[in-house]
A = this chain, B = another copy of it.
Amino acid sequence: MTKLLKDFQPNEQLDIPVLIKSADIRDAKDGSKYIALVFTDTSGEITAKLWHAGERALQDFTTGTVVQLSGKREVYQDRPQIRINHMRVLPESEQKPADYTPKAPESIADLQAFVKQTISEIQQPVWRGIVQYIFGAHWHDFFTFPAAKTNHHAYEGGLAFHTVSMVRLAQRIAPLYEAVNEDLLLSGTLLHDMGKTRELTGPVATQYRPEGNLIGHVVMIDEEIVQACDQLKLDSHSEAVTLLRHMVLSHHGELEYGAPVRPQIIEAELLHQIDQMDASLTMITMALADTRPGEYSERVFGLDNRRFYHHKPIA
């Protein structure tokens, strides 16, 4: 099997196809141009610089292009980079950027089956109806969008994988606490981040859309629930609908994180904690994956810039 970007050791030569994830043209201090590149394949990302870039290079090596990269993996200021020997654009037939981006650790088909099954197990008809309706409207986007622009689950399918991971936590935790209505918890968990399919631009070169900034994904999914009620002839002011709206509106937990209201029911508090739990464990796992045992990771922005220790194997 072909070796991937992260499989090479420091100072090892490589000659593999990769995707240019971003290509930033900059002025060198001698007046020439260079390109600051980020390469990616399914194993992860690595940076490089193409010095003295001529007019041709500036046109060819652009974001989204698949290239054959020959060079050497080096370590620079404790971080890996590629020293480029040669780079050429692959023919049109091999321009399949989607083959070179990280993916969720489960197949989309599996995630879809799991979600379908979970929805079908919601007993309460109003919640199940709304969840089905909204998933119907966003089915494709839900399984391709990232969960965020950066930080965690920032890859194609990340939204679905983050949601599914949270559903699994919810299914295991809810039975331990009698006061928790599992139907409500699962319905809220499934929907809580769906507004991101409208807040963000999509799985590639993800940006916030202006409407995303101005309204925010929290309010966007609330709006969709209200509109689903209109379509399904449900009373949007009923207790059941109000509770579900409260779940999504309060899932950021604290006002200062953009929740217009704080959690006021036990299921909403739990949803918020499950969200934090999956996010933080995922960020730490990612940080440790790039850290050798016995050493500390880079600072993790999403966790108050803490560094985490990759402990040595314990016999």
Contact = CB atoms under 8 A, between A and B. Distances in A.
Given A34-B29, A249-B219, A240 B308 contact: no
Contact of A215 (B29, B261, B312): B261
Given A30-B51, A173-B169, A124 B314 contact: yes
A69 interface: no
B269 A281 contact: yes
Nearest to A261: B216
Given A255-B257, A265-B309, A280-B269, A28 B27 contact: no
B215 A306 contact: no
B309 A249 contact: no
A230 interface: yes
A132 interface: no
A261 B214 contact: yes
Interface in A177-229: 177-181, 183-184, 210-211, 213-216, 218-219, 222-223, 226-227
Interface in A227-264: 227, 230, 237, 239-240, 242-243, 245-246, 249, 255-264
A137 interface: no
A24 interface: yes
Residue among A124, A178, A237, A265 with most chain B CB within 10 A:
A265
Interface residues of A, number: 83
Nearest to A287: B266
A133 to B, nearest CB: 16
A213 B309 contact: yes
A214 B246 contact: yes
A6 interface: no
State the number of copies, please: 6
B226 A296 contact: no
A249 B168 contact: no
Chain B CB within 10 Å — which of A181, A246, A270 has the most?
A246
A113 interface: no
B260 A260 contact: yes
A285 B270 CA distance: 12
Given A226-B223, A314-B240, A215 B258 contact: no
A136 interface: no
B181 A242 contact: no
7 contacts: A29-B29, A178-B285, A215-B249, A223-B226, A226-B226, A266-B284, A266-B288
Interface of A: 24, 26-31, 34, 49, 51-52, 76-77, 124, 126, 165, 168-169, 172-173, 176-181, 183-184, 210-211, 213-216, 218-219, 222-223, 226-227, 230, 237, 239-240, 242-243, 245-246, 249, 255-266, 269-270, 273, 276-277, 280-281, 284-285, 288, 294, 296, 303-304, 306-309, 311-312, 314-315
What 10 A-B pairs come out closest when comparing CB atoms?
Answer: A172-B172, A214-B246, A28-B29, A260-B260, A179-B285, A266-B284, A31-B51, A256-B256, A216-B261, A255-B256
